[in-house]
């Protein structure tokens, strides 16, 4: 590694943003996967300091995040927003830690590896103290596509996302619960976390729309991050990102065009043995990936694999995937990166 102290066999690990939706899942992933740490430290804002969170049968106290918090920390898992990451991640690196950052702060930085362990683990070696975790929509979209791309390069990709409340954090999940309860009881519920009513509704992703190209920031993340992770800027990509009233698993309709003709059976075979992916493709029972099955599950569920009938060349495939936004879309991917460190 090019920066940070050697983590050794039993590193000291810190979770920044420990009380948030992703932070809680980071702690659970470290425990579930028996991550070989010697000590876990939890950091959050001053208002969360003093709370306790369970880890390996103990209650760990949450500390207030300060500029000098990272002495003795080997690996710092950040999930507290891009502003916190920009301020504190360089400080953590300066105090000897390697940072795995879950925000958008460093994803576009050419000097920072953007890593999905099933796709480009080799890029971790080039880190200079910070490694970026990709956007959840990107991870869930492209992890099943990578083995196809290696076999028959993907030249065009169109995705439409059905994104869960968890992508906007714990407060958005609570707003979905409460607004649904209010709707069923006939009460009004003005939204405060998201810009539109959430119960029994869906709306375009609430990130800023570029007035020049008409795409929002979430959609452009899919474009730029796929190019960087695949190491192929020539793939033509368009995305439509939508928030749907689901708590924690994103679903995505994917249409891709390969360099050469490819069959649905070939894609099924490739995806069926791919790491991090589980085939859920049962036309007889009309059973395909669903957020209810993906929620709480590590693998990305892949199905509805079929030829795109609009492409007479036989090079295009349509499919549908679902993945837990808090796990593979965020916490699990970050912990997998830490395992590679």
Among 3, 26, 7, residue whose Cα is nearest residue 80: 26
Q: Which of 29, 136, 241, 258 is catalytic?
A: 136
d(CA 283, CA 274): 21
Question: What's the N-to-C CA distance of the chain in angstroms?
Answer: 8
Neighbours of 312 (CB within 10 A): 8
| Residue 205 a catalytic site member | no
Q: Which of 127, 149, 205, 250 is catalytic?
A: 250
| Residue 241 a catalytic site member | no
d(CA 339, CA 141): 22
d(CA 281, CA 301): 9
Spatial contact of 118 and 335, defined as CB atoms under 8 Å apart? no
d(CA 184, CA 234): 48
Tokens 């069959």 identify what position? 263
| Segment (H or E) for 239 | strand 236-243
Spatial contact of 57 and 48, defined as CB atoms under 8 Å apart? no
For residues 75, 79, 81, 87, the Cα torsion angle rounded to the nearest 10 degrees is -20
Among 75, 50, 72, residue whose Cα is nearest residue 60: 50
Angular region, 286: left φ>0, alpha ψ -120 to 50, beta rest: left
Q: Which residues are catalytic?
A: 136, 250
């Amino acid at each position: 590694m090019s920066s940070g102290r050697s983590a050794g066999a039993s590193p000291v690990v810190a979770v920044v943003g420990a009380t948030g939706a992703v932070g809680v899942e980071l702690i659970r992933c470290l425990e579930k996967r028996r991550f070989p740490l010697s000590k876990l430290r939890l950091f959050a804002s001053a208002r969360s300091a003093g709370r306790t969170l369970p880890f390996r049968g103990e209650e760990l106290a949450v500390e207030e995040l300060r500029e000098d918090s990272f002495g003795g920390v080997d690996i710092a898992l950040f999930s507290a927003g891009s502003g916190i990451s920009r301020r504190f991640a360089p400080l953590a690196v300066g105090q000897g830690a390697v940072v795995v950052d879950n925000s958008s702060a460093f994803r576009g930085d050419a000097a920072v590896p953007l890593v999905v362990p099933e796709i480009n683990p080799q890029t971790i070696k080039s880190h200079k103290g910070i490694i970026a975790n990709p956007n959840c929509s990107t991870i869930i979209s492209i992890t099943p596509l990578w083995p196809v791309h290696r076999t028959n390069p993907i030249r065009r990709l169109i995705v439409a996302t059905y994104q869960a409340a968890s992508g906007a954090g714990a407060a958005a999940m609570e707003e979905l619960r409460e607004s649904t309860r209010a709707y069923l009881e006939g009460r009004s519920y003005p939204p405060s976390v998201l810009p539109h009513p959430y119960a029994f509704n869906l709306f375009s992703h609430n990130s800023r729309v570029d007035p020049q190209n008409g795409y929002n920031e979430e959609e452009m993340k899919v474009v730029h991050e796929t190019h960087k992770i695949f190491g192929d800027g020539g793939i033509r990509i368009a995305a439509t990102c939508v928030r749907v009233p689901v708590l924690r698993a994103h679903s995505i309709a994917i249409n891709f065009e390969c360099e050469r003709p490819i069959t649905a059976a070939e894609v099924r075979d490739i995806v069926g043995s791919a790491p991090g992916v589980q085939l859920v493709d049962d036309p007889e029972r009309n059973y395909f990936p669903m957020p209810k099955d993906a929620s709480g599950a590590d693998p990305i569920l892949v199905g509805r694999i079929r030829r795109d009938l609009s492409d007479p060349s036989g090079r295009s495939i349509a499919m549908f995937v679902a993945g837990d936004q808090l796990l593979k879309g965020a916490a699990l991917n970050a912990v997998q990166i830490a395992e590679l460190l």
